[in-house]
């Protein structure tokens, strides 16, 4: 585990602890969501409210003065004053961003140059500005594209085209760029030197166009303004406006103090004030407004013009106490301001948390955690007090964040999961394509739900974030929780999740840890396409009813297999129980029908045929010829003469030494079971172009397709029960070339066999064979899709 050096002196730490007794045995790690208020702040605020006669600031000078006092205090906190910045009170950072989006003046030629640029890793509140900005040009930039503006030398082209030569400013359009000072997803801190550089030189690269016409800028450089989303940053960092001069800063105070809520600020630089124009007026924002004539005049004071209606005066007044409380609990030292000490504290906690989590391993040595950050935890100027990650299974697949949320809820650990309103950062860190995101959306995933994995890919992550009252013990407990839960089995996690009442939204999640049957497929004709059972199906002593009851033989009586006739997978048998027929379909051919049951009298010829030389299927099989018509039809389909369709006669077949077996024409076992979670794992290992997961599953030609929480749980099964039917595991399925045939088009590839061979050190096994011991002893002779799978007996150790 990493080392940790406390920023706070023992007495300070103790005083802080006494302010948060209400946390009790909870562990609060969502400071990026909001920090917590100290209890004395509530006492002081309520005392103040009781003592003074606060009223509408238009009525009471006292209230108005305190509001102005709050403005000064805010500016002082950011190391600036009213000569440089105006404070516009708003409800929250989102409201501040909205004002900038709505009121930024892109200039006279807004359609000829002025554009809105934003960083990909941005809060949805910034993305929403796209809908309000008065320009039709939108560009998105990656964080690295924005960083290209750092250390730009004076001789670049943009300079030559005159970005900041003030002479023809009037002619230029205005462009706006928005990015976060600290990303609320990863905790990445954008180097703020970029601000000056962009204001001075414009953008070095323009990113990717999202909307707007092809022409760009027509060689005329614009005036660039920077809107800095400071909501996450200022909570635990010093924003020094003497040093950096963004034109617009957007802030929510609850993220700094925990209390009060409902108030934020838009700080506007002098430069920014010249390009922010507001249409609406209301309440005290006008000098005069005539009601019987279309005339009004707005206030000359910049802030007042933007503060529609009555301010949150009681809330704003409380801010003064919030600043004081912070300085009381984290006193400034000679070297550092309160907020700088907090900054160091949360950074060290994050670094410690990161190092502790990074050291976690599964018993097979695999890493437990996949982190999402740009620079690790080596530089406080680039990384804040946030650790974002996903948990991994021992085979590298993802644990859904909703499961982690469940585990955390049971342990009273408050953390945030999902994409934290930052879909762009989520997309970048999770390597999701636009297509992946659309697919997740189409699969029903919406922001803040618990659809945490779609096709095995995460839709979000787990975030731990820290505040000045977070202690090292809190981090240890959270890390231990992750370690203990995710080094155990799915069954143990299920037990933990069900040990306590979960919040409603998470109630569904533990169920996912229970294995389920998802699909049932039968293969009426050996080596031909699957027939998927819609709801339920009958069992017989040889397996699923009608499974591999037919086969196609050639002129020598040899059974056709996909190995030589890949087109067999295009031959689709459909069992129609109502009509009592097996319907056969083949592309561009008319449909053929044969009866499901053949009575002895109408049999026609009785044929004896041996088929297939492989060691498992050189048994002798007695078949009944299904007739001329279907034989000719098959010959046409497969362009091979003299083919016949045989119906297996008895339910038993004889081995060459005369032993009979309860088995259909299947090669090995009664039932083949494949786990879709394992197939998904495999599909992600396959390096060639992806096919839909269902197609990969279909290559395995399984009868029972189940799903478990983690891959390869099936390899541990010894006995299972599916909907009251008991199955015994007979062994692994040894894989052959057949899985290299795409069952939807008959094309042969090297995959996924090659990947299986590589991943399992040459042991080409995947899926398990099951058998029913004695059907007459079973509770049911019918099996239905979406049954629960109960593991009755497990092997001692997992086998791969
Ligand atoms: C929290 C946050 C916001 C939104 O703040 P609200 O208080 O919800 O308006 C915007 N951007 C970032 C980076 C944030 O962390």
- The whole-chain average pLDDT of the chain stands at 89
More confident residue, 61 or 762: 61
Per-residue pLDDT, 614: 37
* DSSP run (H or E) holding 233: helix 233-236
Read off the pLDDT of residues 126-136 as tens digits, 9 standing for 90 and up: 999 999 999 99
More confident residue, 753 or 661: 753
What is the distance between the alpha carbons of residues 93 and 205, in angstroms, rounded to a whole number? 27
Q: Which of 230, 421, 626, 785 is catalytic?
A: 421
Pocket test for ligand 1, best of 32, 91, 94, 181 (most atoms within 8 A of CB): 94
Per-residue pLDDT, 541: 82
Please tell me if the CB atom of residue 98 comes closer than 6 angstroms to any atom of ligand 1. no
What is the distance between the alpha carbons of residues 360 and 419, in angstroms, rounded to a whole number? 24
Per-residue pLDDT, 688: 77
Confidence band (pLDDT; 50, 70, 90) for 164? very low
Candidate from 159-173, 176-190, 724-738 with smallest mean pLDDT: 159-173
* DSSP run (H or E) holding 206: none
Which ligand 1 atom is nearest residue 232's CA? Answer: 15
Please tell me if the CB atom of residue 422 comes closer than 6 angstroms to any atom of ligand 1. no
Span between the terminal Cα atoms of the chain, in Å: 31
* DSSP run (H or E) holding 406: helix 401-410
DSSP state of 769: E
Pocket test for ligand 1, best of 90, 92, 93 (most atoms within 8 A of CB): 93
Phi-psi region of 641 (alpha: psi -120 to 50; beta: other; left: phi over 0): beta
Please tell me if the CB atom of residue 252 comes closer than 6 angstroms to any atom of ligand 1. yes
Q: Is 777 helix (H, G, I), strand (E, B) or coil?
A: helix
Candidate from 20-34, 349-363, 509-523 with smallest mean pLDDT: 509-523
What is the distance between the alpha carbons of residues 606 and 604, in angstroms, rounded to a whole number? 7
- CA 539 to chain CA centroid, nearest Å: 40
For ligand 1, atom 15, the nearest C-alpha belongs to 232
Calculate mean pLDDT across residues 448-471.
93
Please tell me if the CB atom of residue 411 comes closer than 6 angstroms to any atom of ligand 1. no
What is the distance between the alpha carbons of residues 3 and 669, in angstroms, rounded to a whole number? 56
In the predicted structure, residue 118 carries a pLDDT above the cut 60? yes
* Burial track 602-620 (b if 16+ CB lie within 10 A, e otherwise): eeeeebebbbbeeeebebe
Per-residue pLDDT, 168: 53
Calculate mean pLDDT across residues 92-96.
98
* CA 422 – ligand 1 centroid, Å: 10
* CA 642 – ligand 1 centroid, Å: 74
In the predicted structure, residue 101 carries a pLDDT above the cut 70? yes
Per-residue pLDDT, 765: 83
Per-residue pLDDT, 124: 96
* Burial track 678-709 (b if 16+ CB lie within 10 A, e otherwise): bbbbbbbebeeeebeeeebbbbbbbbbbbbbb
Domains 46-323 and 338-513 share a fold: no
Return the CATH number of the domain spanning residue range 46-323.
3.40.640.10
Please tell me if the CB atom of residue 123 comes closer than 6 angstroms to any atom of ligand 1. yes
Confidence band (pLDDT; 50, 70, 90) for 161? very low
DSSP state of 580: T
Tokens describing residue 160: 């030559």
DSSP state of 663: -
Portion of the chain with pLDDT greater than 70, in percent: 90
What is the distance between the alpha carbons of residues 646 and 461, in angstroms, rounded to a whole number? 55
Q: What are the C-alpha distances in Å from 262 to residues 58, 255, 315, 638?
A: 20, 11, 7, 73
In the predicted structure, residue 10 carries a pLDDT above the cut 90? yes
Interaxial angle between packed helices 490-497 and 472-486, expressed in degrees from 0 to 180 and rounded to the nearest 10: 130
Calculate mean pLDDT across residues 263-277.
97
Tokens describing residue 758: 């590589």
In the predicted structure, residue 323 carries a pLDDT above the cut 70? yes
* CA 560 – ligand 1 centroid, Å: 65
Please tell me if the CB atom of residue 94 comes closer than 6 angstroms to any atom of ligand 1. yes
What is the distance between the alpha carbons of residues 267 and 93, in angstroms, rounded to a whole number? 11
In the predicted structure, residue 159 carries a pLDDT above the cut 50? no
Q: Tell me which residue of 566, 561, 669, 652 sits closest to 611, measured CA to CA.
A: 561
Confirm if 268 and 247 have CB atoms less than 8 A apart.
Answer: yes
Candidate from 6-15, 149-158, 252-261 with smallest mean pLDDT: 149-158
Kind of pairing between the strands at 644-648 and 620-625: antiparallel
- In DSSP terms, 252 is beta-bridged to 264
Per-residue pLDDT, 455: 81
DSSP state of 498: T
Calculate mean pLDDT across residues 112-119.
88
What is the distance between the alpha carbons of residues 259 and 45, in angstroms, rounded to a whole number? 10
Looking at domain 338-513, its CATH architecture is Alpha-Beta Complex (3.90)
What is the distance between the alpha carbons of residues 29 and 403, in angstroms, rounded to a whole number? 17
* CA 653 – ligand 1 centroid, Å: 70
Please tell me if the CB atom of residue 742 comes closer than 6 angstroms to any atom of ligand 1. no
Calculate mean pLDDT across residues 347-364.
96
Confidence band (pLDDT; 50, 70, 90) for 793? confident
Angle at alpha carbon of residue 26, lines to 46 and 377, rounded to 5°: 100
* DSSP run (H or E) holding 478: helix 472-486
For ligand 1, atom 3, the nearest C-alpha belongs to 231
- 421 is annotated as an active-site residue: yes
More confident residue, 86 or 61: 86
Read off the pLDDT of residues 414-448 as tens digits, 9 standing for 90 and up: 999 999 999 999 999 999 999 999 999 998 889 88
Please tell me if the CB atom of residue 121 comes closer than 6 angstroms to any atom of ligand 1. no
Per-residue pLDDT, 797: 58
Per-residue pLDDT, 369: 98
Q: What are the C-alpha distances in Å from 596 to residues 65, 363, 616?
A: 92, 52, 26
Read off the pLDDT of residues 582-635 as tens digits, 9 standing for 90 and up: 999 999 999 999 999 876 545 555 555 544 433 335 566 677 888 899 999 999
More confident residue, 715 or 650: 715
Indicate the domain borders of the chain.
Answer: 46-323, 338-513, 522-654, 668-798
Q: Tell me which residue of 90, 83, 37, 593 sits closest to 324, measured CA to CA.
A: 37
What is the distance between the alpha carbons of residues 536 and 522, in angstroms, rounded to a whole number? 12
Confirm if 255 and 231 have CB atoms less than 8 A apart.
Answer: yes
Per-residue pLDDT, 420: 95
Angle at alpha carbon of residue 120, lines to 117 and 125, rounded to 5°: 80
Confirm if 228 and 4 have CB atoms less than 8 A apart.
Answer: no
Rg (CA), the chain: 35
* CA 228 – ligand 1 centroid, Å: 12
Portion of the chain with pLDDT greater than 90, in percent: 66
More confident residue, 394 or 92: 92
More confident residue, 764 or 124: 124
What is the distance between the alpha carbons of residues 38 and 43, in angstroms, rounded to a whole number? 9
What is the distance between the alpha carbons of residues 319 and 317, in angstroms, rounded to a whole number? 5
Read off the pLDDT of residues 72-83 as tens digits, 9 standing for 90 and up: 999 999 999 999
Q: Is 74 helix (H, G, I), strand (E, B) or coil?
A: helix
In the predicted structure, residue 169 carries a pLDDT above the cut 80? no
What is the distance between the alpha carbons of residues 84 and 82, in angstroms, rounded to a whole number? 5
Q: Is 166 helix (H, G, I), strand (E, B) or coil?
A: helix
Please tell me if the CB atom of residue 231 comes closer than 6 angstroms to any atom of ligand 1. yes
Read off the pLDDT of residues 750-762 as tens digits, 9 standing for 90 and up: 899 989 888 888 7
Please tell me if the CB atom of residue 180 comes closer than 6 angstroms to any atom of ligand 1. yes
- Other Cβ atoms less than 10 A from the Cβ of 505: the count is 13
Which ligand 1 atom is nearest residue 91's CA? Answer: 9
Confidence band (pLDDT; 50, 70, 90) for 656? low
Q: What are the C-alpha distances in Å from 92 to residues 38, 225, 261, 352?
A: 20, 21, 8, 31
In the predicted structure, residue 576 carries a pLDDT above the cut 50? yes
* CA 416 – ligand 1 centroid, Å: 14
Q: Tell me which residue of 405, 419, 407 sits closest to 372, measured CA to CA.
A: 419
Most confident of 186-190, 200-204, 205-209: 186-190
Q: Tell me which residue of 435, 436, 456 sits closest to 697, measured CA to CA.
A: 456
* CA 252 – ligand 1 centroid, Å: 7
* CA 482 – ligand 1 centroid, Å: 27
What is the distance between the alpha carbons of residues 284 and 310, in angstroms, rounded to a whole number? 7
Contacts of 443 (CB under 8 A, 6+ apart): 451, 454, 455
- CA 176 to chain CA centroid, nearest Å: 30
């Amino acid at each position: 585990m990493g080392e940790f050096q406390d920023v706070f002196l023992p007495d300070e730490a103790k005083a802080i602890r006494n302010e948060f007794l209400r946390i009790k045995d909870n562990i609060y790690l969502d400071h990026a969501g909001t920090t917590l208020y100290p209890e004395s702040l509530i006492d002081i605020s309520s005392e103040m409210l009781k003592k003074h006669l606060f009223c509408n600031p238009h009525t009471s000078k006292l209230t108005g003065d305190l509001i102005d006092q709050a403005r000064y205090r805010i500016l002082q906190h950011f190391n600036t004053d009213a000569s440089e910045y105006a404070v516009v009170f708003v409800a929250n950072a989102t409201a501040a961003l909205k004002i900038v989006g709505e009121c930024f003046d892109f200039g006279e030629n807004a359609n000829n140059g002025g554009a809105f640029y934003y960083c990909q890793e941005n809060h949805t509140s910034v993305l929403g500005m796209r809908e309000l900005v008065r320009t039709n040009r939108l560009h998105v930039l990656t964080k690295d594209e924005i960083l290209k503006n750092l250390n730009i030398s004076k001789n670049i082209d943009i300079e030559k085209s005159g970005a900041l030569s003030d002479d023809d400013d009037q002619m230029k359009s205005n462009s706006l760029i928005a990015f976060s000072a600290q990303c609320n997803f990863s905790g990445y801190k954008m180097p703020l030197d970029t601000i000056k550089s962009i204001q001075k030189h414009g953008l070095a690269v323009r990113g990717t166009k999202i909307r707007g016409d092809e022409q760009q800028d027509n060689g005329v450089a614009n005036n660039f303004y920077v809107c800095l989303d400071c909501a996450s940053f200022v909570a635990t960092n010093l924003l020094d406006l003497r040093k950096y001069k963004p034109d617009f800063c957007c802030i929510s105070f609850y993220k700094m103090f925990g209390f009060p809520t409902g108030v934020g600020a838009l700080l506007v630089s002098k430069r920014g004030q010249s390009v922010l124009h507001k249409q609406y007026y209301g309440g005290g924002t006008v000098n005069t407004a005539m009601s019987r004539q279309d005339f009004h005049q707005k206030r000359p004071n910049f802030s007042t013009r933007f503060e529609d209606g009555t301010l949150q005066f009681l809330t704003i007044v409380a801010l003064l106490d919030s600043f004081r409380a912070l300085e009381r609990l984290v006193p400034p030292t000679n070297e550092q301001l309160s907020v700088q000490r907090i900054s160091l504290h949360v950074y060290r906690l994050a670094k410690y948390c990161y190092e502790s989590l990074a050291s976690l391993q599964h018993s097979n040595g695999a890493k437990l955690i996949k982190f999402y950050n740009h620079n690790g935890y080596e530089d406080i100027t680039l990384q804040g007090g946030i650790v974002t990650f996903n948990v991994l299974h021992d085979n590298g697949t993802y644990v859904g964040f909703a499961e982690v949320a469940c585990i955390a809820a049971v342990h009273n650990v408050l953390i945030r999961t999902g994409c934290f309103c930052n879909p762009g950062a989520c997309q970048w860190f999770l390597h999701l394509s636009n297509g992946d995101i659309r697919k997740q959306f189409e699969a029903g995933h919406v922001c803040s739900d618990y659809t945490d994995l779609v096709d095995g890919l995460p839709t979000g992550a787990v975030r731990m974030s820290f505040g000045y009252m977070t202690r090292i013990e809190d981090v240890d407990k959270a890390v231990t929780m992750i370690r203990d839960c995710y080094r155990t089995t799915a069954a143990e996690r299920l037990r933990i999740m069900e040990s306590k009442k979960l919040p409603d939204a998470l109630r569904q999640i533990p169920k996912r840890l229970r294995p389920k049957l998802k699909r049932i497929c039968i293969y009426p004709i050996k080596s031909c396409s699957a027939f998927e059972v819609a709801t339920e199906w009958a069992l017989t002593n040889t397996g699923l009813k009608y499974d591999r009851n037919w086969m196609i033989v050639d002129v020598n009586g040899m059974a056709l297999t996909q190995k030589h006739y890949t087109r067999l997978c295009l031959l689709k048998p459909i069992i129609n129980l109502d009509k009592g027929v097996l319907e056969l379909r083949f592309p561009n051919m008319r449909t053929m029908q044969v009866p499901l049951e053949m009575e002895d009298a109408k049999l026609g010829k009785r044929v004896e045929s041996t088929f297939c030389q492989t060691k498992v299927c050189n048994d002798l099989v007695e078949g009944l010829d299904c007739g001329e018509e279907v034989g000719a039809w098959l010959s046409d389909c497969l362009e091979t003469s003299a083919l016949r369709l045989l119906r297996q006669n008895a339910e038993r077949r004889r081995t060459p030494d005369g032993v009979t077996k309860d088995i259909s024409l299947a090669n090995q076992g009664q039932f083949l079971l494949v786990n879709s979670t394992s197939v998904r794992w495999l599909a992600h290992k396959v390096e060639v172009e992806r096919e839909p997961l269902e197609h990969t599953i279909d290559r395995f030609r399984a009868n029972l397709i189940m799903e478990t929480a983690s891959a390869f749980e099936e390899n541990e099964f010894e006995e299972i029960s599916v909907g009251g039917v008991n199955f015994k595991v007979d062994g692994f399925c040894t894989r052959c070339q057949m899985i290299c045939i795409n069952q939807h088009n008959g094309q042969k590839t090297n995959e996924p066999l090659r990947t299986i061979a590589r991943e399992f050190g040459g042991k080409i096994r995947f899926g398990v064979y099951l058998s029913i011991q004695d059907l007459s002893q079973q509770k049911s002779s019918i099996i239905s899709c979406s049954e629960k799978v109960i593991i009755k007996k497990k092997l001692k150790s997992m086998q791969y």
